[in-house]
Structure 1
Amino acid sequence: MQLAAQLPEHGYAVSVALIDLGVMEDTIFSAVVARVAASMPSVSFHTLPGVEDPLKLTLDIHFIPRYLDLLRRYNERLHEFLSSMRPHAMVVDSLSSEAVVVAKRLGIRCYNLFTSSASILAAFSQLPTLLPFPHGNFGELGDSPHELFSLPPMPASHLLAEMLEDPESETYKTTMGSLCWIMEANGTLVNTFESLEARGVAALRDPRCVLGRVLPPVYCVGPFVGAIAEAKERHECLVWLDGQPDRSVVFLCFGSIGAESHSKEQLREIAIGLEKSGHRFLWVVRAPVNDMEKPFNPSADPDLDTLLADGFMERTSGRGLVVKLWAPQLDVLRHRATGAFVTHCGWNSVLESVTAGVPMLCWPLYAEQKMNKIFMVGDMGIAVEMIGWQQGLVKADEVEGKVRLVMESEEGRELSARVEAHKKGAAAAHNNGGSSRLAFAQFLADVASLQDRARTGEGIPMGLSDA
């Protein structure tokens, strides 16, 4: 939606096509769509007619193939919608990349909006070409490093869980197939800026990245940070932060959708480590994973007195604040009192922390977050890793030690300096002559080169299948 908001300024009409919002039974997402639509009167929103027998989706190992199958079934609905308006071009989110088939059928240019990093896109462009290979499948390689062109060695265990499945499984085939469709588009807009990911961007532009294949143009147009329609009420945690010294608070938050959570044992280890560190903290806690209950309910109310170490809340009263379920992450990161961020390494969270100038402690949980961790700790130099996440338990001593490292040590000060430099780079990217501004202008120039641009009443539909 941040991309869509920029297009009317350049004379384009914008239409947003959504699949049925009920497939995830997510009332929060539906409310967000309604709020955003109300805040953007210049943009038209269209919910595509439903398909027969739509699957109800749950967050498990089968989510990706089921979701992609659902989107595939919506392609005919998308075809009808595009036929009625004949747009200049279409932009789709990464999971909707197979919609390029519809665009090609109608002679419409199709672009991806890749909402993860350029480094991840460089890896994803190569991975489908690496099988078959002697080891059989990625899952059998474990932590063995896998060499990718112009990228740091990637332990196979850090790939998407769907990629670690049997190569003959439907989950594996569907996942790899979706990556191939991304490369069939006319170009890819990436939510990043060049100075943050110089190595990943260079890989994508190098003809050796995927042998025998010229990748479509890549436009680094980010970072897109923040919401279109902000909440009006100020969260109580921000009031608490107002009373804390500058750069004194460690913020712990592991994602807004709650697709994963920590065990009871892990929550207690975090609590002990935070208490022993002696530092101020703001911690967003979700109910723990209960292996006996599937699917996991991310909205369950956590019982803090039961979950955390005995007397923890009382002993840390004043220097610590525990918030249930959710906090306004970007507002917290931008607050003068926040000095470090313990994150699950989702790309939105990474960009929010970078643009706020806050160093990070990596604790990846799912999806491409493990891959992000490698780039954050290595090439970008904006984070340190919490050891133990891969074994399923980060010990209290590790929590204490890494918090002290970032908040007290010379290494922590150097980390902060690098993040601050990238913060300035993010701002510069959108200034006149900045890399992201130039990339966006090039994207518009490529769209404008279409032969039928003069046709009146046409626009750029934004195909957004999910948040």
Structure 2
Amino acid sequence: MIQTIVLYPAPGIGHVVSMVELGKLLLLHHSHSFSITILLTTGFLDKPSLDSYIRRISQSYPSISFRRFPVLAVNPTTSPQSFAATIFEFIRHNDSNVASALKDISQTSNVRALVIDLFCTSAMNIGSSLGIPVYYFFTSGAAVLSAFSYFPKIHEQTTNNFKDLSMDLHFPANPPIKAFHMAEPTLERDDPAYWDFLYFCSHLPKSCGIIINTFQELEPIAVNVISEGACFPDPKQAPPVYCIGPLIAEPKDRNEEEGEEEAEDRGRIQNCLKWLDKQPSQSVVYLCFGSRGSMSMEQLKEIAYGLENSEQRFLWVVKRPPIDERTKQTLDTRGEFNLESVLPSGFTERTKDRGMVLRSWAPQVEVLARKSVGGFVTHCGWNSVLEAVVAGVPLIAWPLHSEQHMNRNLLVEDMKIAIGLEHRDEDGFVKGDELEKKVRELMESEKGKEMRERSLKMKNLAESARDTFGSSTKSLNKLIETWNN
């Protein structure tokens, strides 16, 4: 029978792209061992770009096949719930589809492992009941994994909502974090997402192993804490961990994730890269806040003020301001909007000789690889962090939501490859003067120069980790050996 690894990502093209990259990595090193089958939900967070992406991957990688579940509508609940709770509920309602798919695949293939996203934890019991070993693919870093694994213990220490607490929380392998800076699903116990998240974290040690998108040299303390089981309720039950990163999507696949139409944006992309190629070495600050990160009109004006007064060259990606400013996210990443209408009057004209503003999207991997880019103002999403590490570019950390505050603390306090921005606790607002100060510090000061040197050293370590005898390659081979046996 065919030997198959089944991958099950959470909804959303970003989750799908990450899981496909894992499948491609497995095939790159062990194409003779397995085929890859990817299970996909249908009916929530679907984008038109997903269909074209699936077709292209299927054509380019015949050993990767996709199994789409039947359309499942998101039924409105009688009581209001968070966006995260809606996602988690949708995934649970697909459990019967997961069971049917695994049974069908098992008729013609020997399923060696089921690899699931953290949010797809409800599939663990399904796989186990069929005798299939279940693994997690954790797409954030090891420090965040350590914190999530320890979350059930933190849960027992208080009955208050984290959003109402200003105290510091202490997690193994992490700098202290303000309680209200925790990931959104954990902030309020009245939200069903809180209990879903607790369920996810409680099941991490019950897996057969956890695959992490990081590398030993980037997070040595966190990797050791996880390996020794210090972050789990029972250290003796700690699952094996496999650090296989840095795993980042190819540029064309990131295009799909961002939802861009290549035909419409090819000229704009080329102009952006040509402009960067004309700038002096390490002279440009790049600002982008992820595929959905978005700022209010007031915040955009402060950013513009800070950039203009910094007198530094810049490339700034501006997304449509969010409908709800508290979320700092926009789901409409493709919709048209007037760029000039959200920027201060005359800003583009005054800065045209040293800056470029792009609407909605930029080819981030290519941008960071340009020699002219000397700094990156980022939301601290893990994909962006790894892309900066691989490019050797130091950071200015501006977390918005999710686990990004944890990443920010790690980058600033432990890795020392980022400068943190001071912001208002109540809403995360950053003044233009603060941005100007930190941009100048990164680009002009001795501290910025030292950070740049550390970033370049980390870039070299990332390359070594992925070499034939590197730490990540060895970890991947160990995982494959487990599956073969």
TM-score (norm 1): 0.89
User: In the alignment, which residue of structure 2 is the partner of 1:26?
Assistant: 47
Task: State the shift of 1:35 in Å.
Answer: 2.7
Per-residue CA distance 1:86-122 (angstroms, 9 max, x = gap): 3111112222122111110000111111000000000
User: In the alignment, which residue of structure 2 is the partner of 1:409?
Assistant: 445
Task: State the shift of 1:413 in Å.
Answer: 0.5
How well do the aligned residues superpose, as a CA RMSD in angstroms? 2.3
8 A contact 2:54–2:66 mirrored in 1 = no
8 A contact 2:81–2:192 mirrored in 1 = no
> Which residue, 129, 148, 154 being the options, matches 1:130?
154
AA aligned opposite 1:338: V
Change (3 A) 1:422 1:55: farther
> Which residue, 246, 251, 254 being the options, matches 1:223?
246
User: In the alignment, which residue of structure 1 is the partner of 2:87?
Assistant: 67
The alignment status of 1:176 with 2:176, answered yes or no, reads no
SS of 2:44's partner is: helix
Task: State the shift of 1:135 in Å.
Answer: 5.6
The alignment status of 1:299 with 2:299, answered yes or no, reads no
Change (3 A) 1:389 1:42: farther
The alignment status of 1:43 with 2:64, answered yes or no, reads yes
Mapped partners of 1:32, 1:366: distance in 2: 27
SS of 1:196's partner is: coil
User: In the alignment, which residue of structure 1 is the partner of 2:420?
Assistant: 385
User: In the alignment, which residue of structure 2 is the partner of 1:76?
Assistant: 96
User: In the alignment, which residue of structure 2 is the partner of 1:318?
Assistant: 353
Task: State the shift of 1:403 in Å.
Answer: 0.6
Per-residue CA distance 1:277-331 (angstroms, 9 max, x = gap): 1110000001222449998634343323222122111111121000000000010
Mapped partners of 1:292, 1:160: distance in 2: 17
8 A contact 2:43–2:71 mirrored in 1 = no
TM-score (norm 2): 0.86
Task: State the shift of 1:363 in Å.
Answer: 0.7
SS of 2:185's partner is: helix
Mapped partners of 1:74, 1:207: distance in 2: 32
Change (3 A) 1:73 1:290: closer
SS of 2:414's partner is: coil
Per-residue CA distance 1:151-186 (angstroms, 9 max, x = gap): 3222212211221102x5422111211222333210
Higher relative contact order, structure no. (Cα contacts within 8 Å, ≥ 6 residues apart): 1
8 A contact 2:81–2:191 mirrored in 1 = no
Change (3 A) 1:330 1:343: same
Task: State the shift of 1:134 in Å.
Answer: 4.4
8 A contact 2:295–2:325 mirrored in 1 = no
SS of 1:399's partner is: helix
Mapped partners of 2:354, 2:129: distance in 1: 60
> Which residue, 366, 390, 396 being the options, matches 1:355?
390
Task: State the shift of 1:84 in Å.
Answer: 2.2
Task: State the shift of 1:189 in Å.
Answer: 0.4
The alignment status of 1:247 with 2:273, answered yes or no, reads no
Per-residue CA distance 1:324-371 (angstroms, 9 max, x = gap): 000000100001111100001000000000100000001111111111
The alignment status of 1:236 with 2:256, answered yes or no, reads no
> Which residue, 155, 173, 187 being the options, matches 2:209?
187
Aligned residues with identical type, % of pairs = 36
AA aligned opposite 2:34: A
SS of 2:37's partner is: strand
User: In the alignment, which residue of structure 1 is the partner of 2:468?
Assistant: 432
The alignment status of 1:158 with 2:181, answered yes or no, reads yes
After TM superposition, the structure 1 stretch with the greater mean CA deviation from structure 2, 21-30 or 121-130, is 21-30
The alignment status of 1:196 with 2:212, answered yes or no, reads no
User: In the alignment, which residue of structure 2 is the partner of 1:13?
Assistant: 34
The alignment status of 1:101 with 2:137, answered yes or no, reads no
Mapped partners of 2:331, 2:479: distance in 1: 41
Aligned residues: 442
SS of 1:378's partner is: helix
Mapped partners of 1:26, 1:389: distance in 2: 34
Task: State the shift of 1:393 in Å.
Answer: 1.9
> Which residue, 105, 108, 115 being the options, matches 1:91?
115
Mapped partners of 2:444, 2:198: distance in 1: 43
5+ residue gaps, structure 1, are: 450-467
8 A contact 1:61–1:162 mirrored in 2 = no
8 A contact 1:114–1:189 mirrored in 2 = yes
Mapped partners of 1:307, 1:80: distance in 2: 49
Change (3 A) 1:89 1:425: same
